[in-house]
């Protein structure tokens, strides 16, 4: 069953605990929850059993306490698949945190791994309001995380050229502010 089928689920019957609605919901939601959980757990190097358990955590969250979480979903605000993806990722990250390996005693860590260069540099503060929230977000994605413009454009539902021009305008503002400030 594809994600599109999620739109056909009777949410009111589901929230009442109707078994048939729940089974239909599971069939429609499982591919999305599976994909989201796998993506979230991938950097943590966890195995198939953890994927299964984390996915089960998602379903448990949804139906626990008489479907309390599911009842918070508001179709007027966002699509069910997007909301489910948010819930699934959050549950998967919680699962990964619980499964995190216990800390290693410092004596067992190789010295090379502990070698941290002490290079404290006082950073200039960007005053609040100089950049918009979107400009800040785009610069964070581009420079701190080295993400592709295309990925950021897809996320923000804008043209890649819009991301580039937002980046450009932000840098112009920063340069102008700090040139004036230091000049």
Minimum separation from the CB atom of position 109 to another protein (A): 24
Task: Report the residue number, 9 or 131, with the smaller CB distance to another protein.
Answer: 131
33 contacts another protein (rule: CB under 8 A) = yes
155 contacts another protein (rule: CB under 8 A) = yes
117 contacts another protein (rule: CB under 8 A) = no
Q: How many CB atoms lie within 10 A of CB 123?
A: 6
Residue 65 falls in which region: left (phi positive, over 0), alpha (psi -120 to 50) or beta: left
Say how far apart CA 90 and CA 41 lie, in whole Å.
11
Task: Report the residue number, 100 or 106, with the smaller CB distance to another protein.
Answer: 100
Query: Which phi and psi angles does 95 have, rounded to 5°?
Result: -60, -45
Query: Which phi and psi angles does 130 have, rounded to 5°?
Result: -70, -45
Among 100, 101, 119, 157, binds another protein (CB under 8 A): 157
- Residue numbers 38-97 binding another protein by CB under 8 A: 39-40, 52, 55-56, 59-60, 63, 72-74, 77-79, 81-83, 85-87, 89-90, 93
Q: Which residue has the tokens 């069953």?
A: 1
Minimum separation from the CB atom of position 10 to another protein (A): 14
Say how far apart CA 27 and CA 75 lie, in whole Å.
20
Minimum separation from the CB atom of position 25 to another protein (A): 9
145 contacts another protein (rule: CB under 8 A) = yes
Chain centroid to CA 114: how far?
A: 30
Residues contacting 106, CB < 8 A, separation 6+: 114
Task: Report the residue number, 46 or 167, with the smaller CB distance to another protein.
Answer: 167
Q: Considering CB under 8 A, how many residues would be counted as binding another protein?
A: 75
């Amino acid at each position: 069953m594809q994600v599109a089928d999620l739109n056909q689920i009777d949410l009111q019957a589901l929230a009442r605990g109707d078994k048939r609605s729940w089974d239909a919901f599971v069939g429609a939601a499982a591919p999305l929850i599976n994909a989201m959980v796998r993506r979230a757990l991938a950097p943590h190097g966890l195995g198939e059993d953890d994927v299964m358990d984390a996915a089960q955590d998602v379903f448990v969250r949804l139906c626990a306490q008489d479907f309390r979480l599911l009842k918070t979903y508001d179709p007027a605000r966002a699509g069910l698949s997007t909301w489910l993806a948010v819930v699934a990722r959050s549950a998967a990250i919680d699962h990964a945190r619980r499964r995190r390996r216990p800390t290693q005693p410092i004596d067992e860590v190789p010295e090379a791994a502990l070698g941290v260069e002490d290079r404290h540099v006082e950073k200039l503060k960007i005053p609040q309001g100089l950049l918009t929230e979107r400009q800040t977000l785009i610069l964070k994605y581009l420079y701190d995380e080295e993400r592709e413009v295309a990925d950021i454009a897809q996320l923000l539902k804008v043209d890649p050229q819009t991301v580039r021009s937002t980046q450009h305008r932000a840098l112009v503002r920063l340069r102008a502010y700090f040139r004036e400030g230091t000049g």
